[in-house]
Structure 1
Amino acid sequence: MTQKQLVLEDGTQFIGHGFGSDRETVGEIVFNTGMTGYQETISDPSYCGQIVTFTYPLIGNYGINRDDFETVDPAILGIVVKEHCEHPSNFRNEETLDSFLKAKGIPGIAGIDTRKLTKIIRRHGTMKATITSLDRSVDSVVESLKLTQLKRDQVRQVSTVKPYVVPGRGCRIVLVDFGMKHGILREFTKRKCHVTVVPYNTTAQEIERLKPDGIMLTNGPGDPKDVPEAIETIHELIGRIPIFGICLGHQLIALASGADTEKMKFGHRGLNQPVKDKHTGRTYITSQNHGYAVSAGSLSGTELELTQVSLNDASVEGLKHTIHPVFSVQYHPESSPGPEDTDNLFDEFLELIRSSQLKQKEEATCLNVLT
Structure 2
Amino acid sequence: MMQTYRLSLFVSIIIVLTLSYNTTANAQVSNNFVIMIDPGHGGKDSGTPGTGRYKTTEKDIALDVSLALGKMIQQKIPAVNVVYTRSNDIYPTLNGRTVLANKKDVDLFISIHCNAQPGKTGTAYGSETYVLGTTKNKQNLEVAKRENSVIALEDDTEVYKDFNPDSPESVLGLMIAQEAYLDHSIKLARYIEDEFQVTAKRKSRGVKQNIFYVLAYTYMPSVLVELGFLTHKKEEDFLNSKRGKELMTKSLFNAIEKYLQYLNVNTNDVVFVEDTTTEPPSKSIEFKVQIAASSKELETKPYNFKGLNNISSIREGSLFKYFYGNTSNYEATKQLEEEAKKKGYKSCFVVAFKDGKKIPLIDALKTISN
Q: What TM-score do you get using the length of structure 1 for normalisation? A: 0.25
Q: Greater relative contact order (Cα 8 A, min sep 6): structure 1 or 2? A: 2
Q: Which has the higher strand share?
A: 1
Q: Which has the higher helix share?
A: 2
Q: What TM-score do you get using the length of structure 2 for normalisation? A: 0.25
